[in-house]
Amino acid sequence: MKTKTILLGVAGSIAAYKAAEIASQLVKRGFVVHVVMTASAAKLVTPITFQTLTRRPVVTGLFQEEAEMSPAHISLADAADLLLIAPATANIIAKLAHGLADDALSTVALATRAPVLVAPAMNGKMWEHPATRENVAILKKRGVHFIGPEKGRLACGYEGVGRLWNPDGIVERAAKLAA
| Domains of the chain listed by start with CATH number | 5-178 (3.40.50.1950)
- Among candidate residues 142, 156, 158, 159, the one labeled active-site is 156
Q: What is the mean pLDDT of residues 162-175?
A: 97
* Per-residue confidence (pLDDT) for residue 99, from 0 to 100: 97
**HEC readout, the chain:** CCCCEEEEEECCCCCHHHHHHHHHHHHHCCCEEEEEECHHHHHHCCHHHHHHHHCCCCECCCCCCECCECCHHHHHHHHCCEEEEEEECHHHHHHHHHCCCCCHHHHHHHHCCCCEEEEECCCHHHHHCHHHHHHHHHHHHCCCEECCCEEEECCCCCEEEEECCCHHHHHHHHHHHHC
pLDDT band at 69 (very low <50, low <70, confident <90, very high): very low
Q: What is the mean pLDDT of residues 99-114?
A: 95
* Per-residue confidence (pLDDT) for residue 155, from 0 to 100: 83
* Per-residue confidence (pLDDT) for residue 70, from 0 to 100: 54
pLDDT band at 61 (very low <50, low <70, confident <90, very high): confident
Is residue 156 annotated as a catalytic residue, yes or no?
yes
pLDDT band at 166 (very low <50, low <70, confident <90, very high): very high
Mean pLDDT of the chain: 93
Measured CA to CA, the distance from residue 67 to residue 13 in angstroms comes to: 30
